Amino acid sequence: MVTSESQIPKALRRSAVILTAAFLCLSLVPLGVEHAAAQSVEIIPHWRTGDRVELMVTRIREKSLDGRSTRSGKTYTRFSLEVLRAGPEGYLVGWTVGATTFEVPAPSESILRQVVGLMQGLQVLLQIDSRGAIIGVQNWESLQNEMRKNLDALSAHASASQRGKADQALMADLRAQWDVMFSTKAQIEQVCTRDARTYFRILGRTYTRGQHDAYQSVLDNPLGGAPLPAHTDIVLKSFDDRSRHAVLHWKQSADREQTDRIMRSIVKGLAAQRGKQVPEERPMYSVSLENQAEVEVDVETGWVTKLTETKAVNLGSRAQTDTTFMVVEVP
């Protein structure tokens, strides 16, 4: 006997619709959970001994005054990365500094070219923990000795040349600065890991799309001295499940109020050294510092494949922007 739809009580039909809807909802829950989980990625290194990466780093500096901009330099530097040891406790990575070339070639005898080349050929042995954080430089003492030998050779060459007094004074200033920069283990590690810290910065965390990972940090002080308190925010912009590549946006801004207070203190200190005073009511240029970066990383390996970072410093009508591009070159 065939029963028509019109003969089925309305209450029974309504119950059937509700049960069907409930079944569909229950069936779709696992799909929703799986989709949400796919948008959370843990980015840590999965390296093996012998893994190698070739990295090209391009740097551009632009300065502006009263809205008029000029480009003051563009350089290209090649780095070679090799995993020398891999284990449960972490990694030992050789970070070798290659040659630097200039967009507008500097004279072969220029102090600038020679100073930039002081670290060329040196290999920094980075000690990295299992989550990708740099914890030290294994060969800091040998790097210190090599840098001192290079500085001695450069100083001797400058003294023996026929340059003017201005070049000799510049060399003396540079020598004094580099002697300080390479005087202790901590300072050597800071100088020798600057690019590596930028490259490995986003490792060691789990990111979820749309959720901001915010924390307090510090920025280098452009006038020297104590670092400036800052706010950092990282967010996962996209994740391609096929390529296993994630793109993250990284932003760091100096705390405006604390930066102004620190900068006023620095200015007052410099004035005091010269026997002058800075009135409290005297207006000062406000300083703003902001770093932004977009990072593409291979989640399967933990190697960053592409990075673009922009550092902007503004002081009144003056501004300076340093842009760094890091790109892995595929052999």
| 181 plus 74 within the same structural domain | yes
- Owner of token pair 């391009």: 58
> If residue 224 lies in a helix (H) or strand (E), which one and from where to where?
none
- Provide the pLDDT for residue 212: 93
- Which three-class secondary structure state does DSSP give residue 133? coil
Tell whether 173 and 53 lie within a shared domain.
yes
Sign of the CA dihedral running 160, 163, 166, 171: negative
Range of the domain at 145: 46-57+69-200
Question: Does some domain include residue 79?
Answer: yes
Kindly provide the b/e burial profile for residues 47-56, where b requires at least 16 CB atoms within 10 angstroms of the residue's own CB: beeebebebe
Q: What is the pTM of this model?
A: 0.77
pLDDT reported for residue 20: 47
319 and 286 in one domain?
yes
In a shared domain, residues 141 and 281: no
Tell me the Ramachandran region of residue 226: left when phi exceeds 0, alpha when psi lies from -120 to 50, beta otherwise: beta
**Judgement on whether residues 185 and 77 belong to the same structural domain of the protein:** yes
Give residues with Cβ within 8 angstroms of 133, minimum separation 6.
Answer: 200, 203, 204
The answer on 196 and 229 residing in a single domain is no
**CA proximity to 39, closest of 227, 278, 289, 247:** 247
∠ CA 8-10-11, rounded to 5°: 110
What's at 259, amino acid-wise?
T
Judge if 287 and 320 occupy the same domain. Answer: yes
Q: What is the DSSP letter of 286?
A: -
Quick: pLDDT tens for 276-316.
Answer: 665 555 445 567 889 999 999 999 999 999 999 999 988 87
Element spanning 203, H or E: none
For residues 5 and 14, give the distance between their C-alpha atoms in angstroms, rounded to a whole number. 12
Do 216 and 228 touch, CB atoms closer than 8 A? no
Query: Within 13 Å of residue 302, how many CA atoms lie on the same side as its CB?
Result: 24
Ramachandran area for residue 244 (φ above 0: left; ψ -120 to 50: alpha; else beta): left
The rounded average pLDDT for each run of 10 residues, N- to C-terminus, in the chain (331 residues) is 49 48 42 49 97 96 83 88 97 96 66 74 97 97 90 74 62 74 87 94 94 88 76 95 95 86 71 64 67 97 97 86 92 61
Gyration radius (Cα) of the chain, Å: 28
C-alpha span between 213 and 210 (Å, rounded): 10
Within a domain: 116: yes
With residue 62 as reference, give the H or E element that holds it: strand 52-65
Of 200, 223, 257, the residue that ends a domain is 200
CA 174 to CA 260: how far, in whole Å? Answer: 29
Number of domains making up the chain: 2
Model pLDDT for residues 175-200, shown as the tens digit of each residue:
777 777 788 999 899 889 999 999 99
The candidate with the shortest Cα–Cα distance to 221, out of 162, 174, 269, 185, is 269
What's the confidence (pLDDT) of residue 183? 84
- Return the pLDDT at 169: 72
* Boundary residue ending a domain (200, 222, 246): 200
Could you give the C-alpha distances from 325 to 59, 106, 252, 311, in angstroms and in order?
6, 21, 17, 12
Dist CA 126 CA 47 (whole Å): 14
In three-state secondary structure terms, 71 is strand
